[in-house]
């Protein structure tokens, strides 16, 4: 039994590091995805980062823009150059701790508002593993999300299990992570980790279908942030995953691959 | 990739028609369970009882099923766990008029499912597959049962597949109850974006506790897409397909059992 497709892609971790200007985040992200990721991303326009295409030609693009020293915007586009979402994160004027997780098919950014830990923030985006369907089964395979509304900067729908995705006439955010409700433990009390499977939603006529799995992510029990756990990913093979900021649930959290 | 463990291992299927008395059903169940490796532990001739083959592990997990003829049309089922604690009694009705009943039996070392196509009622018991936990991980839980009706062919309520009888913890003090809360993920998508069928394990747990998967069963699209007992092919995860039949469920989803 081999490693499942959604865990068989590149991954890297950067940080945690202190940021006092969001321009530092863009610079660090650029270094990560252009210079350290294998395969490397590209930067077709300044501050516009495009993931490497997979075997089916799928990719996603994240475009950063600086609102102020403490406000960072991110637009996510799919391979057709359609926008999936516009989101924002903010850092504290005194500085915030940031971590960046990236790979050929995913990115996730933690922003720790220390010492005020009640308002942690995140940005994420990626493409989905659509198996058992073919990789190019549908154009709706790019997701993106973040803690804040694009223009006002207000906290909005910052639930970890929400994400923006496209549909036949636009894009929208909603609860998309399957199973992010119950049963994060086995009967002996040990944690249960599951692939992050996502819903697709077609608002007219309101049909929920299966979209795919997030690359290099699990969902698992939520406890103290930042713990790193070793999870079996195939017989005799384990991977290390770090719990990341996952607001909106008391039971579940995202875990992103770090080793 | 190999099959997931809940779809691996032995299983059987038998169908017959023209059944007018549940005595024949109980006799058939006994023959099939013995063939699947269960042991006859009957002490009361009016209540044939069987114990499942030993599971792995060293904790002595046990699972007994006991059937009783209440009338020509009504059959009762009660199960007993490792500690010998009894579940509630559930039942199903068959048709004893006209051409009699068409019966379907799905069985294996960890499950017995009896479905009457004529009355659209079922009776089942199973030990859940706890993979990746050890076989005997759920020694005080992880055993499910239900029937379409209350004892003695009574009220058709608390019926499967949404209601399941289970102990709500892996704990010697856990109480058996019938609840919808034990069925996990019943709202998973049953279609892909292109509307192809998707299938999921029939999984159980309670609150933060995950119990396991019903052996050789899948959740599938509702009767509007797959009529009851219509055979269909589903991928087994190893590149091959298995044949399943939907046996119970409604307008949202059904449970299907493996036939070949």
Q: Do the chains contact at B184 and A183, CB–CB below 8 Å? A: yes
Q: What is the ipTM of this complex?
A: 0.84
- pLDDT tens for residues B103-117? 999 999 999 999 999
List Cβ neighbours of B219 (8 Å cut-off, separation of 6 or more): B185, B186, B188, B190, B199, B200, B201, B202, B253, B254, B255, B256
Contacts of A178 in chain B (CB under 8 A): 185, 188-189
Q: Report the gap between the CA of A188 and the closest CA in chain B (Å).
A: 7
Q: How far is B92 from chain A (nearest CA, A)?
A: 31
Of residues A179, A185, A207, nearest to B209 (C-beta)? A185
**Above 70 in pLDDT, residue A181?**
no
Residue A116's pLDDT band (cuts 50, 70, 90)? low
Mean pLDDT of all residues in B191-219: 92
- When pLDDT is cut at 50, 70 and 90, the band that residue A117 belongs to is low
Write out the DSSP string of B203-252: EEEETTEEEEEEEEEEEE--TTTS-TT--EEEE-SSS-EEEEEEEEE-SS
pLDDT digits (tens, 9 = 90+) for B118-159: 999 999 999 999 998 888 888 888 999 999 999 999 999 999
Eight-class DSSP state of B142:
-
Of B189, B198, B220, B233, which to mutate for an interface test with A (greatest number of A Cβ within 10 Å)? B189
Tell me the mean pLDDT in the region A180-186: 77
**A142 has pLDDT over 80:** yes
**Interval B230-251: pLDDT, tens:** 999 999 988 899 999 999 998 8
DSSP string spanning B4-72? PGGG-S--EEEEEEEE--HHHHHHHHHHHHHHTT-EE--SSTTS-EEEPPPPSSSS----EEEEEE-SS
Average pLDDT over chain A, rounded to whole? 92
Rounded to whole angstroms, the Cα distance separating B174 from B190 reads: 33
Burial track B44-54 (b if 16+ CB lie within 10 A, e otherwise): eeeebbbebee
Residues of B in contact with A202 (CB under 8 A): 193
Closest Cβ opposite residue B137 in set A140, A179, A187: A187
pTM: 0.91
Place of tokens 């001739």: B45
On chain B, the residues whose CB falls within 8 A of the CB of A207 are 191
> Residue A203 has what pLDDT?
92
């Amino acid at each position: 039994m081999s490693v499942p497709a959604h865990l068989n892609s590149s991954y890297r971790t950067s940080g945690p590091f202190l940021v006092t200007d969001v321009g530092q985040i863009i610079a660090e992200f650029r270094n990560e995805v252009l210079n350290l990721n294998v395969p490397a991303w590209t930067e077709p326009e300044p501050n516009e980062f495009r993931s490497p295409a997979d075997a089916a030609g799928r990719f996603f693009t994240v475009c950063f823009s600086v609102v102020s020293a403490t406000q960072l915007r991110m637009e996510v586009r799919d391979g057709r150059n359609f926008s999936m979402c516009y989101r924002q994160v903010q850092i504290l004027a005194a500085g915030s701790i940031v971590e960046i997780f990236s790979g050929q098919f995913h990115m996730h950014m933690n922003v720790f508002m220390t010492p005020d830990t009640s308002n942690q923030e995140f940005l994420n985006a990626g493409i989905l593993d659509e198996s058992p369907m073919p990789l190019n089964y549908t154009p709706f395979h790019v997701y993106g999300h973040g803690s804040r509304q694009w223009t006002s900067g207000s906290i909005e729908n910052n639930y970890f299990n929400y994400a923006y995705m496209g549909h036949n006439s636009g894009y929208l955010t909603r609860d998309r992570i399957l199973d992010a409700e119950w049963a994060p433990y086995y009967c002996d009390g040990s944690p249960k980790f599951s692939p992050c499977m996502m819903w697709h939603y077609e608002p007219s006529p309101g049909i929920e279908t299966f979209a795919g799995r997030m690359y290099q992510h699990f969902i698992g029990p939520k406890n103290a942030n930042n713990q790193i756990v070793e999870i079996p990913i195939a017989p005799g093979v384990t991977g290390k995953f770090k719990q990341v900021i996952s607001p909106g649930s008391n039971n579940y959290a995202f875990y992103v691959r770090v080793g | 990739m190999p099959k997931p463990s809940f779809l691996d291992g032995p299983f059987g299927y038998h169908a017959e028609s023209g059944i007018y008395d549940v005595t024949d059903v109980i006799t058939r169940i006994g023959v099939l369970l013995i063939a699947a490796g269960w042991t006859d532990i009957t002490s009361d001739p009016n209540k044939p009882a069987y114990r499942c083959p030993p599971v792995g592990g060293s904790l002595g997990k046990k699972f007994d099923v006991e059937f009783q003829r209440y009338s020509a049309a009504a059959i009762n089922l009660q199960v007993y766990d490792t500690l010998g604690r009894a579940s509630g009694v559930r039942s199903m009705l068959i048709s004893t008029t006209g051409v009699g009943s068409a019966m379907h039996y799905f069985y294996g070392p960890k499950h017995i499912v009896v479905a009457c196509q004529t009355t659209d009622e079922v009776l089942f018991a199973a030990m859940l597959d706890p993979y990746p936990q050890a076989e005997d991980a759920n020694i005080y839980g992880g055993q499910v049962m239900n029937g379409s009706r209350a004892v003695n062919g009574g009220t058709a309520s608390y019926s499967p597949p949404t209601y399941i009888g289970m102990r709500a913890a892996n704990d010697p003090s856990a109480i058996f109850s019938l609840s919808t809360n034990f069925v996990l993920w019943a709202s998973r998508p049953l279609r892909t974006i292109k509307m192809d069928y998707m299938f999921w394990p029939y999984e159980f747990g309670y609150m933060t506790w995950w119990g396991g998967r019903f052996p050789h069963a899948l959740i599938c699209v509702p009767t509007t897409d797959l009529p009851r007992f219509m055979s269909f092919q589903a991928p087994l995860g190893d590149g091959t397909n298995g044949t399943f039949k939907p046996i119970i469920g409604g307008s949202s989803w059904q449970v299907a059992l493996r036939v070949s």
